[in-house]
Amino acid sequence: MARPDFSRRSETVELMDTEPSALDDYAACLADLAQVNVVTLAYRPTLAFLDRVARLAPHDRTLRILDAGTGYGDMLRRIGRWARRRGIAVELTGIDLNPRARQAAPADEIPIRWVTADILSYRPAERPDIVLSSLFAHHLDDAAIVRFLAWMEAEAALGWFLSDLQRHPLPYDLFRLLAKIARWHRFVRHDGPVSISRAFVRADWRRYLAAAGLDAAQVAIEWHLPFRLCLARLRGAS
Ligand SMILES: C[S@@+](CC[C@H](N)C(=O)[O-])C[C@H]1O[C@@H](n2cnc3c(N)ncnc32)[C@H](O)[C@@H]1O
C-alpha cells in the first residue's frame, strides 16, 4: 500500500466495508477491533463526555443513548456498565448499516436494542437524548459527514459526541507496527492505517461544522490521547 498524503483525506476504502467475508470471519474482525479499542483507550473520551452529561441531565428518567455505526456494540456494553455503576437508567440503541454487526455481537447481560439502518436516513421513533459515534465518521465522505453532523444536531435532545482519529503519520506508523505484533485480523491490519489516512485534522472539522450550519462556539473540538480528535456538543453547557 502506497504511503498516503497526510495533507488531505485518503479515499482508499476499508476492507470491512467492501470485502465479502463469512460471518465467523467478520465476527473475528469485530472482536479484534474491540481489542484495539481497549489498547488504544478508545472508550475513555466518550465515557468522560457521558460523565459531563450525567452532571447536567435530570436523574429521574431514563437516558436514551444511540450509538451510530456501533459495529460490535462494545462501546454500548461499556456504557451499560458505566451507567450501572452510577445508578443511571439508560436505554441503549446501536445502529449499524451492516446486518452482520448485530449477528456477530456477543450475548451480554447489558440490554441493547439493535437497528440495522443507514444512520443518515434513520428517523428514530423516540428522540435520543445523546447520539454517540466512535470510529464511524471516517467511513463517510465529506458531504455525508456534513449531513451526519446536521442529523445529530437535529435528533439529539441533550447533545452528541463524535469520536474519531487524527490524520497524522505518527499514529499511522505506530498502528502498523502494533497490528503486526498483535497479529490482529487482516481487515484490522489493513483498515487501521487506512482509517488514519481517511481521518481528520482540526481544520476539516471547522469546515464541516460551518457547512452543517453549526455554531462553532457550541461544539468543542477535543484532542484525546492517543491521536483521537473528537467533537463534543452539550446543550445547556456553559
Ligand atoms: C470501524 S467500525 C466502528 C465500530 C465501533 N463503533 C467501534 O468503535 O469499534 C464502523 C462501523 O460503521 C458502520 N457504518 C458505516 N456506514 C454506516 C452508515 N451509513 N450507517 C450506519 N452504520 C454505518 C459499519 O458497518 C461499521 O460497523
What is the predicted pLDDT for the residue at 35?
96
Ligand 1 centroid vs 238 CA: distance in angstroms?
31
CB 196 less than 6 A from any atom of ligand 1: no
Nearest CA to ligand 1 atom 17: 97
- 92-139: pLDDT as tens digits: 999 999 999 999 999 889 999 999 999 999 999 999 999 999 999 999
CB 93 less than 6 A from any atom of ligand 1: no
- The closest alpha carbon to 237, from 87, 130, 148, belongs to 130
Ligand 1 centroid vs 71 CA: distance in angstroms?
5
159-165: strand order across its sheet:
113-116, 90-96, 63-68, 130-134, 159-165, 228-234, 219-224
- 46-66: pLDDT as tens digits: 999 999 999 988 778 899 999
Mean confidence (pLDDT) of the chain: 95
Q: Which atom of ligand 1 is nearest to the CA of 195?
A: 1
Report the number of secondary-structure helices (H) and strands (E) in the chain: 9, 7
> Do 135 and 69 form a contact (C-beta atoms < 8 A)?
yes
> Do 219 and 229 form a contact (C-beta atoms < 8 A)?
no
Determine the residue of 17, 77, 135, 136 to mutate for testing ligand 1's pocket, defined as the one with the most ligand atoms within 8 A of the Cβ atom: 136
Q: How confident is the model at residue 237 (pLDDT cuts 50, 70, 90)?
A: low
List residues bridging with 92 in a β-sheet.
65
- 133-186: pLDDT as tens digits: 999 999 999 999 999 999 999 999 999 999 999 999 999 999 999 999 999 999
